[in-house]
Amino acid sequence: MPALTPGVGSDSTPGRIVLDARDIARALTRISHEILERNRGASDLVLVGLHSRGVPLAHRIAERIAAVEGVDVPVGELDVTMYRDDLRTNPTRAPHKTDVPPIDGRIVVLVDDVLYSGRTIRAALDALGDLGRPAAVRLAVLVDRGHRELPIRADHVGKNLPSARSERVHVALSEADGRDEVRISGGDDA
Ligand SMILES: O=P(O)(O)OC[C@H]1O[C@H](OP(=O)(O)OP(=O)(O)O)[C@H](O)[C@@H]1O
Ligand SMILES: O=c1cc[nH]c(=O)[nH]1
């Protein structure tokens, strides 16, 4: 095994890997089972992925639920750009598509890659409120890195990752990035 510079991946991408492809696959399988257990099956579920990497994660969870339950759970994609509380100070984000199946009376599971301040999820809850009135909204994230600024928590977490505010968590997914991995960089290991 070649020696690595601390904090630098073998391909010189900054940061250290905290989840590799197999870890991500296992975490998503567990989350899918947790969702089914909590919901006692797949009935009334709608998965809504947040752009950008929450969308492929929602599809992967739907694939696993279909494999276990034989049910195709509807999957939507939600862009929260126009609902962000930093829109005035950071107006340069490019909006993505929003395409959410009917959510009235359904159990909506929001899916995102990283949960940090909670402001993205706050925006997502506002966006959902304009689309309908779900029976319940739950949250699944691949990584919870802490540092919440709002009273928001995840129901399903792939990995709790203690982090410094100065660090950054980078999620790469094959659909968008050609590989699956989660890295943390910055702080003392920049
Ligand atoms: O809890 P928060 O403090 O809101 O942070 C979490 C959000 O930050 C990242 O998105 P980012 O805004 O970096 O855009 P991206 O999804 O395009 O990477 C990540 O994908 C989450 O959506
Ligand atoms: O570290 C972070 C913080 C917010 N969003 C991310 O994707 N990573």
- DSSP string across 4-71: --TTB-TTS-BSEEEE-HHHHHHHHHHHHHHHHHHHTSSTTEEEEEETTTHHHHHHHHHHHHHHHHS-
Tens place of pLDDT per residue across the chain (190 aa): 333 344 444 456 789 999 999 999 999 999 999 999 999 999 999 999 999 999 999 999 999 999 999 999 999 999 999 999 988 888 777 788 999 999 999 999 999 999 999 999 999 999 999 999 999 999 999 999 999 999 999 999 999 999 999 999 999 999 999 999 999 999 764 4
In a domain, 17, yes or no: no
Boundaries of domain holding 123: 41-87+94-184
CB distance 173 to ligand 1 below 6 Å? no
Q: Which residue's alpha carbon is nearest to atom 5 within ligand 2?
A: 114
Evaluate whether 49 touches 77 at the Cβ level (below 8 Å): yes
CATH number, residue 157: 3.40.50.2020
- CA of residue 167 to ligand 2 center, whole Å: 9
User: What's the predicted TM-score (pTM) here?
Assistant: 0.93
Does 112 map to a domain?
Answer: yes
Name which residue sits closest to atom 9 of ligand 1, judged by CA.
114
Ligand 1 and 53: CB distance under 6 A: yes
Distance CA 29, CA 33 (A): 6
| Backbone φ and ψ of 8, nearest 5° | -125, 130
